[in-house]
Amino acid sequence: MANFLHLPADEPGFFDPALEFSRYVYLLIGQDPGAIDEKISDQKAFDLALENLDQIFSQAGEKEKEKETVEGALNVVCWLFQRVLENNTAPAEAVTLVDKFLQRLRSDVTLHPTLRLKTMSTIYNILGGNGTARYNTFLAIVEYAAAAGKEHFALVTSQFDQLESMLGEWGTDIQKTRALYQVIFDSMAKHDSRDKAHQFRIKYLESFQGERNLEEAKVQANIAVVEAISDPKIYQYDTYLELNAIRALENDSKHGKTFTLLQLFSHDNLEGFNKFYASSSSYVESLGLKKEECILKMRLLTLCSLAANSKEIGYAEIAQNLQVQESEVESWAIKAITAELMDAKMDQLNKVLVINHCKDRIFSKAKWTELRSKLVGWKDRIKQLMMVLENAKVQQQQQQMMQIQAQMQSM
């Protein structure tokens, strides 16, 4: 976001921007610029600018010079805004002033949206430590950019990487934080950024951890589960089951079956899914989930479960559990390997799948303990190796010193 240069009007050699700008606006609207009071205040000049903001934007045609002229005029508007802001020291008054300015800037998403976004960015920088006003401005930027189109929305998405620190700086409460998350994931979804939309939906749900009233989170929790199941890149669901907002679906009369579906994908097999689908096919379809895609993922997950319990699996056993022909087993093994769910080799002679490594479907506390134990053992072995190398280095240095001493004595 570009910073705005404050040009003082009360120093020698500077004309009064409020007066000159007001005359410029009067010319645009077809009134006599000479009628402007030469002592017009910054507040009145700013109000005049807001009243005629669309008229100012309309002057930016296709020519670069015209756009530069309008951009310069907008810089003066921002300068007037800053001057007026300095005279409204109460934070609440400043917020009101900012919201009024933003409302006028957001009034049209078709008339020079890039210039409008740049002006909003300037407003954001002027506001300094006013957290509430900065939050409102950033929210307005996101909403306006999303409404203006995919190209304009792409201009602001880089700011989302810093969002957590920005929220901390603003001192934003949890309700406003959730509101911003929701605007972001709705905008992401609107502009086909499905993965990032899902990430912010999860952030939204994480904000409910430790709370008892989870009713307002249930709709988004339901959507998050459906997104996770339908995403061909997601195969582990234990982190979803740890979210209170998602666990609240379990006994919900409307979304309870979604939670059951999540549990199936978390640790059950294809047979379990088929039984559930047989009794709840209309519900699954109402979620927008396709049976064929669900079966494909469940076959891969079922194969992972088999691989987790055995180093070698016969083709016949795989075919039975995946409910496919034995001749199709190798193609499913290749799919699992390609999806990086396992590292395995196919023994075509003996018709067995040899498992080197397989991803766990649920990374339980026992697995974390096992991993910690392995890391500690690895650390100890590295430490021992470093000691051996250090001792060898000392011994080598001692031998070299002894050789030097022996050579010196023989001279």
User: Per residue in 225-275, pLDDT tens?
Assistant: 999 999 999 999 999 999 999 999 999 999 999 999 999 999 999 999 999
Q: What is the pLDDT of residue 175?
A: 96
Q: Which domain holds residue 347?
A: 310-358
Q: How confident is the model at residue 218 (pLDDT cuts 50, 70, 90)?
A: very high
216: which DSSP letter? G
User: What does the pLDDT look like over 6-58, one tens digit per residue?
Assistant: 444 444 444 688 899 999 999 999 999 889 888 899 999 999 999 999 999 99
Q: What is the pLDDT of residue 370?
A: 59
Number of domains in the chain: 3
Same domain, 143 and 59: yes
Last residue of a domain, one of 92, 118, 149: 149
Q: What is the pLDDT of residue 7?
A: 44
Same domain, 111 and 18: yes
**203 in a domain, yes or no?**
no
Same domain, 322 and 409: no
Quote the crossing angle between the two packed helices 218-230 and 256-267, to the nearest 10°: 30
Same domain, 94 and 48: yes
Kindly report the average pLDDT of the chain as a whole number.
89
CA–CA distance, 330 with 321 (Å, rounded to integer): 14
**256 in a domain, yes or no?**
no
Lowest-confidence pick of 90-104, 330-344, 373-387: 373-387
- Which region holds residue 137: left if phi is over 0, alpha if psi is between -120 and 50, else beta? alpha
Q: How confident is the model at residue 4 (pLDDT cuts 50, 70, 90)?
A: very low
Same domain, 4 and 67: yes
Q: How confident is the model at residue 75 (pLDDT cuts 50, 70, 90)?
A: very high
Asked whether 187 and 153 are in contact (CB, 8 A), the reply is yes
List the Cα angle 58/63/69 in 5-degree steps: 60
Share of the chain above pLDDT 90, in %: 73
Same domain, 98 and 37: yes
Same domain, 410 and 326: no
Task: Give the closest residue to 345 by CA, choosing from 360, 359, 330.
Answer: 330
**100 in a domain, yes or no?**
yes
pLDDT at 212 over 80: yes
Report, in angstroms and rounded to the nearest whole number, the Rg of the chain calculated over CA atoms.
33
